[in-house]
């Protein structure tokens, strides 16, 4: 932890007036509380600041609502979105039932304990992750639901549907349907905005791999960040979403990581590249193995595939997630692995040339996940494969969308709804409990929250139902 004196020097150097404490609830939603700069002292890092856990999803009941947000000094950064100079910290959530102790549902605890469990299975190693952040940028967003009406309205100035837009000046250069992948300016009109985001992220230690326009013609983009160790990457994931949303908002645009905000347009995922590394590099590498993959790496794939259905409850935890996971949009629907095949659930990138980062890409996740739970769940599944030597079988290198029904019948179908994913989790979660990483209490709370989402959607009329049934 940086010395308190260093933090005070940082406050003086940047003329800091406020301290902002950020923390995630169980669903992965970011919250914050702001303190004056003179609150920075040793007591702050020992006792933290009191917050109401009963007001945040998945935490405590109102009669036991008091909790502590304990800042982690290693996460400090100057927050660029506050008009008044502000230092931000990411916090752990602590229980005060007896003394100040770590709360079992604290999301950051789960990734840390997952790393500790890794040391029992593969001593001296670490999990390295590299997520791809896909998101849409919109210029107008309206939605409403009440007893007498329900609608959403979204607009993007670069969308093909605006080629004939009248009123304000229209300069053309719209993105064709599914024609946005790596589009160049002036069709890609937000490349400067993405570069600004990347620069802001670099200022807080989040490196850039690359950014580009994505396939979706109505404002879909991707920023892929540099690899990092799992615990740090979970923190970074929360910050990437925070930075993208806030810089878009102050630039007059609205960013969303919603998996499928537009009908019949490409959905946004959060593919996660991952490997286990020792001090020499990726232990997934074997120059004599299939696709240069080691037996340990194949076992890891076996664990991911065995538990994939249950993992979806954490990697794809919204009802909207399953509107993205449909054939025809390069979205994973079947439980397979392959080399370079983007319709597979797990892809071994065919362009890999550096053995030290030999990796796989788990393609199902999306941005509605809690990154701490999502990353830990994937790693626990992979480690279960390593521990129990789970054979993933042969790779399927064909385009899944072109296989016959007979061929597809031999391949496991992944969950097609949040209900099915939650059902799978209820049947298969023992691997998550290993090492006390996940707890029965947390899993029960998660299933309860997510079934509530399902029920909220179930009881509300859908606009398309009026087309189907109104005159029946």
Q: Which of 3-7, 45-49, 317-321 has the highest mean pLDDT?
A: 317-321
Round to whole Å and give the CA distance between 365 and 280: 29
Round to whole Å and give the CA distance between 443 and 12: 44
Catalytic residue among 214, 235, 286, 366: 214
Q: Is the pLDDT of residue 411 over 90?
A: no
Check if 4-103 and 120-469 are the same fold: no
Mean pLDDT of 244-268: 96
Catalytic residue among 134, 157, 235, 265: 134
Peptide bond into 186 cis (omega under 30): yes
Q: Is the pLDDT of residue 377 over 70?
A: yes
465 is catalytic: no
pLDDT cut 90: percent of the chain above it: 77
**Average pLDDT over the chain, rounded to whole?**
92
Q: What is the pLDDT of residue 392?
A: 93
CA geometry: angle 91, 33, 204, nearest 5 deg? 55
Q: Write out the CATH class of domain 4-103.
A: alpha beta
Domain extent listing, the chain = 4-103, 120-469
Q: What is the pLDDT of residue 340?
A: 67
103 CB-near residues (< 8 Å, 6+ apart)? 53, 59, 67, 92, 93, 94, 95, 109
Give 275's strand partners.
Answer: 128
214 is catalytic: yes
222 is catalytic: yes
> HSE of 308 in the Cβ direction (CA atoms, 13 Å)?
26
284-311 pLDDT per residue, tens = 999 888 888 999 999 999 999 999 999 9
232 is catalytic: no
Tell me if the domain spanning 120-469 has CATH number 1.10.150.130: no
DSSP symbols for 241-255: HHHHHHHHHHTT-EE
Give 107's strand partners.
Answer: none
Between helix 371-387 and helix 295-306 the angle, nearest 10°, is 120
363 is catalytic: yes
Among candidates 238, 218, 252, 234, which has minimal Cα distance to 135? Answer: 218
Round to whole Å and give the CA distance between 337 and 124: 27
Catalytic residue among 105, 109, 271, 347: 271
Mean pLDDT of 227-242: 98
317 CB-near residues (< 8 Å, 6+ apart)? 27, 368, 369, 370, 418, 421, 450
271 is catalytic: yes
């Amino acid at each position: 932890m940086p010395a308190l004196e260093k933090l005070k020097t940082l406050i003086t150097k940047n003329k800091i007036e406020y301290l902002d404490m950020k923390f995630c609830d169980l669903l992965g939603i970011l919250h914050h509380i702001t303190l004056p700069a003179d609150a920075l002292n040793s007591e702050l890092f020992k006792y933290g600041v009191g917050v109401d856990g009963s007001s945040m999803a998945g935490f405590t009941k109102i009669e036991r609502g008091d909790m502590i947000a304990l800042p982690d000094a290693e996460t400090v950064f100057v927050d660029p979105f506050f008009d008044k100079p502000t230092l931000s910290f990411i916090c752990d959530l602590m229980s005060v039932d007896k003394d100040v102790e770590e709360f079992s549902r604290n999301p950051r605890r789960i990734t840390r304990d997952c790393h500790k469990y890794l040391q029992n299975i593969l001593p001296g190693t670490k999990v390295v992750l590299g997520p791809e952040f896909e998101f849409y940028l919109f210029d107008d967003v309206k939605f409403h639901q009440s007893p007498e009406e329900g609608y959403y309205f979204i607009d993007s100035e670069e969308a093909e549907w605006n080629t004939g837009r009248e009123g304000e000046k229209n300069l053309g250069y719209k993105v064709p349907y599914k024609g946005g992948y790596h589009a160049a300016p002036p069709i890609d009109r937000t490349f400067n905005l993405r570069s600004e985001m990347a620069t802001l992220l670099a200022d807080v230690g989040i490196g850039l791999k690359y950014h580009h326009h994505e396939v979706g013609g109505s404002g879909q983009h991707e920023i892929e960040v540099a690899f990092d160790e799992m615990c740090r990457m979970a923190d970074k994931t929360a910050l990437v979403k925070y930075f993208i949303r806030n810089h878009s908002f102050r630039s007059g645009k609205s960013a969303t990581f919603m998996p499928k905000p537009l009908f019949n347009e490409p959905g946004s995922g959060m593919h996660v590249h991952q490997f286990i590394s020792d001090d020499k590099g990726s232990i997934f590498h074997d120059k004599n193995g299939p696709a240069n993959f080691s037996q340990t790496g194949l076992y890891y794939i076996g664990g991911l595939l065995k538990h994939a259905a249950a993992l979806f409850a954490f990697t794809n935890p919204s009802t909207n997630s399953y509107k993205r996971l449909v054939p025809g949009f390069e979205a994973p629907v079947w439980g397979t692995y392959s080399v370079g095949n983007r319709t597979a659930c797990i892809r071994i990138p065919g362009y890999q040339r550096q053995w030290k980062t030999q990796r796989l890409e788990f393609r199902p996740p999306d941005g509605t996940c809690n990154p701490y739970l999502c990353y830990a769940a994937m790693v626990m599944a992979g480690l279960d494969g390593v521990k129990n030597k789970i054979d993933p079988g042969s790779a399927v290198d064909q385009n899944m969308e072109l296989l016959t029904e007979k061929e597809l019948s031999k391949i496991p179908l992944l969950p097609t709804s949040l209900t099915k994913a939650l059902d799978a989790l209820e049947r298969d979660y023992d691997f998550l409990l290993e090492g006390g990483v996940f707890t029965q209490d947390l899993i029960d709370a998660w299933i309860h929250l997510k079934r509530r989402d399902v029920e909220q959607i179930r009881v509300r009329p859908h606009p398309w139902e009026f087309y189907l049934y109104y005159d029946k």
